[in-house]
Amino acid sequence: MSNKKSLIEALNPVTSTAASKAVESSTKPLNVMVVLFDMSSSMDHLYNSGAVNKFWSDQVTNIKKQAWLYRESQDTLVYVAGFSSALTEFFMDGPYVAEALPFTVQQRYRNGTRLCGSVNTAVQRAATAHPTASILVLTITDGEENASSPEEVARFRTIVSSPGHLLTLAFAGPSSALAQLARWGVSRGNVTTWEGDEKTLTTSL
């Protein structure tokens, strides 16, 4: 991928500021969900097969149903981001997640898994944009952290140990990542395991 702006425009041809502006004027409680997708090369087979598209399309349906069900009492804003060893890049948001994302190999990053740094970025950006919102950050990866700096790992551990009552961190990753996440203080109850294959992507998450 040569241009991050091209990625954003390709996946979200309509500017994503309208949804954020709409909730700014609302007096209802705001729930913000940030979904971080691992876009490293080890996920190639899942993108090539269409499994990630199918998984996210199903999640969009569920999120839209929940947002509609509670629309009178709360607002829902969803951000989606991709990460590998590159900086987290947000490329879609919307109050009810109007479209499933057309993930393709050509539009993805490569290299390692910068899990800690990406979660840090997601938390910081969501909390800055929506300081009074309840925030859920869900990270979906098929591997373990291998690209964040020591400073990013330390910051991640601080966030995990003191998330505050408005922040929830959740992870979907392979069983091999459980020990690593546990060392950093992530509760087992906040981790869903899947094994990096199409079957467990659709049945476990």
The mean pLDDT values, 10 residues at a time, for the chain of 205 residues are 32 42 74 85 83 81 81 82 69 41 47 88 84 92 91 95 90 92 95 91 84
pTM value is 0.82
* DSSP of 27-66: -S-EEEEEEEEE-SGGGHHHHHTTHHHHHHHHHHHHHHHH
Q: What is the pLDDT of residue 152?
A: 94
Q: What is the pLDDT of residue 23?
A: 62
CA nearest neighbour of 194 among 57, 51, 61: 51
Q: What is the pLDDT of residue 3?
A: 33
Beta strands in the chain (DSSP E): 30-38, 75-83, 89-94, 134-140, 167-173, 191-193
